[in-house]
Amino acid sequence: MTTIVSYNILAGGYSIRENGAPRTQQLLSIIRSAKPDIVGLIEATHPSAKQKPSVVEELAEALDMRLIPGGTPRHADDYQTALLTRLPVIDTRLHNTSGLNRAMLEVQVQEADGQQLSVFVTHLSAAFNRGRAGGGIRRREVEEILRTMAPARAKGVPHVLMGDFNSLAPGDHFRASSLVGYVLDMDRARRDASLEDGHPELETIVPPALRFLHPILRVIPRNRLISTLFNSAAGLYAPRSSIRLLQEAGYIDSYRRIHPQALGFTCPAAAPAGRIDFIFASPQMAERLETCYVLLDGEGVQGNAASDHLAITAELGSRIPTAEQPEVHAHTVAI
């Protein structure tokens, strides 16, 4: 059994509004409850962070896992990904091509049966205030991700792709009124208007051409009928092509494979509105999928006390027997 967790831990695991207080213990409770072998962390570290040890370093030590950072972000205000694992590491690579706004981390590990598993960790652009909610930007990123993973597909290498995709899957529900209500509450609670604490703001989710609707948006969460109409309209407007591209390429949405009808919302944790965190499995890995679920809490800690995202976990059973399996030789490439 190999257990994988994908988790956006928000702003490196620090509470920016609370003078940078670390959320190490809350995050640890959520992660530890899944008993993972691999944890993909989104918004893991920031290049300007000076505190040592960092939250992710504390998590790695407490979980007795190796920490693999995702490299220096391309933009100074971006957070980087990271991966924690208790499995032997064979290889690490950082894919930082021009088609990606944030680098994608690739880590190859050796499972208990001695076989190789490649894990890709990504964080797609939000850009919700751009044209068609940034759908074109994320689609181009997914096209680049698919090009990067093409060799693994061609060779039949078992692999998973996980992270924060800032995208909805085709057919998924979108409770946009919950998102608007959450953002309005966060804006009201933001004492310093210039503070970038990782939480979305109304200006970042509404395109400039629609900002004249701000007064109406403030009414939506308080009116059931308007909320229902708004959710329907937003569900039609929300772009879904980036997730569709992955599905068309043969990748299996692990959560939807196990739960065909459940909502599975992952964000915002305090007012779940949509499912934007995914673990995609290659066909070989999907055959081993035993369960996949959203971590609503862990060890008595509610998910919204740890991050603005809920973690998602997948459990992979024993490898399906095949013909000749290649021998794996471990080596590590520095990043």
pLDDT of residue 223: 84
Confirm whether 138 is domain-assigned.
yes
Confirm whether 29 is domain-assigned.
yes
- Residue linked to tokens 């998924």: 172
Confirm whether 301 is domain-assigned.
yes
**Segments of the chain with pLDDT less than 70:** 76, 190-198, 206-214, 320-335
pLDDT of residue 208: 65
Cα(172)–Cα(256) distance, integer angstroms: 10
Contacts of 132 (CB under 8 A, 6+ apart): 237, 239
Confirm whether 160 is domain-assigned.
yes
Residue pair 197/157 in contact by the 8 Å Cβ criterion: no
pTM, rounded to two decimals: 0.90
Confirm whether 192 is domain-assigned.
no
- Residue linked to tokens 């590590």: 332
Q: What is the 3-state secondary structure (H, E, C) of the chain?
A: CEEEEEEECCHHHEEHHHCCEECHHHHHHHHHHCCCCEEEEEEEECCCCCCCCCHHHHHHHHHCCEEEECCCCCCCCCCEEEEEECCCEEEEEEECCCCCCCCEEEEEEECCCCCEEEEEEEECCCCCCCHHHHHHHHHHHHHHHHHHHHHHHHHCCCEEEEEECCCCCCCCCCCHHHHHHHHHHHHHHCCCCCCCCCCCCHHHHCCHHHHHHHHHHCCHHHCHHHHHHHHHHHHHHCCCHHHHHHHHCCCEEHHHHHCCCCCCCCECCCCCCECCEEEEECHHHHCCEEEEEEECEECCEEHHHCCCCCEEEEEECCCCCCCCCCCCCCCCCCC
pLDDT of residue 265: 98
Contacts of 71 (CB under 8 A, 6+ apart): 80, 94, 96, 103, 105, 335
Q: 256 to each of 2, 39, 97, 262, how far by Cα in Å?
A: 19, 20, 30, 8
Task: State the CB neighbour count (10 A cutoff) for residue 335.
Answer: 16
Confirm whether 212 is domain-assigned.
no
Number of domains in the chain: 1
pLDDT of residue 211: 61
Domain that holds residue 300: 2-172+238-316
pLDDT of residue 219: 82
Confirm whether 202 is domain-assigned.
no
Q: Residue 21 belongs to a domain with what CATH number?
A: 3.60.10.10
Closest CA to 11 of 19, 151, 312, 139: 19
Confirm whether 190 is domain-assigned.
no
pLDDT of residue 210: 60
Residue pair 104/205 in contact by the 8 Å Cβ criterion: no
